[in-house]
Amino acid sequence: DKTGTLTLNKLTVDKNLIEVFARGVDPDSVVLMAARASRTENQDAIDPAIVGMLADPKEARAGIREVHFLPFNPTDKRTALTYIDDDGKMHRVSKGAPEQILNLAHNKSDIERRVHAVIDKFVERGLRSLAVAYQEVPDGRKESSGGPWQFIGLMPLFDPPRHDSAETIRRALNLGVNVKMITGDQLAIGKETGRRLGMGTYMYPSSALLGQDKDESIAALPVDELIEKADGFAGVFPEHK
């Protein structure tokens, strides 16, 4: 099983791959805005990865006064922090699912093609995407819808392999033991993890196990042959495991 066995079950961000969309903003600013849109206590799964990128976690609230925090929920699929800076001006930052953040952006039609291109690039490398946005709240009321939202950037998320996984798999392979991966994550993430661990990238979707694969050459294979041939399966549900 991939998550927590082959990997650390701990999301990280590759800062070198952060894509910036707003003028006058650099990757460090994207990280800071994302950290402000995170909880510093009672964190969700993503918050520690973001806040942990700061030199000091206290930077996430340095020089600002928190007014309201919107926690992640299945409807909004984003978090948001409304805050007041040292000059008494109100601002709001948000992080979350790229489509939700893109829908906020005042210039959605201008940037959506590039946003989707970056997301696709991340997916090819087995990376999930987290989007960040910012707005000013000129009237200073937390209930206010605020000014135009700016789409600030996209951050790549990845659950890295455990430090001993690659060596353990190498030793198993040298002993003639074939190691197969099963994961609930999408196919690209399974392939990227397999590549990093040196265990192969012949990964198949769970539909292949159920004989539902669109590729007839795969669908025609007996399940036992498919399992022998594969390095792993992705998009697997607990009952499949």
The residues that are catalytic are: 1
In this structure, the number of other CB atoms found within 10 A of the CB of residue 126 comes to 22
Contacts of 86 (CB under 8 A, 6+ apart): 63, 64
How far is Cα 22 from Cα 152, in angstroms, rounded to an integer? 5
How far is Cα 236 from Cα 182, in angstroms, rounded to an integer? 7
Closest among 68, 80, 85, 138 to 104, alpha carbons compared: 80
Strands (E), 53-149: 64-70, 78-85, 90-96, 128-136
How far is Cα 212 from Cα 205, in angstroms, rounded to an integer? 10
Sign of the four-CA dihedral 80, 3, 31, 50 = positive
Three-class secondary structure of residue 231 per DSSP: coil
| DSSP string covering 174-215 | HTT----EE-SS-HHHHHHHHHHHTS---EEEHHHHTT--SS
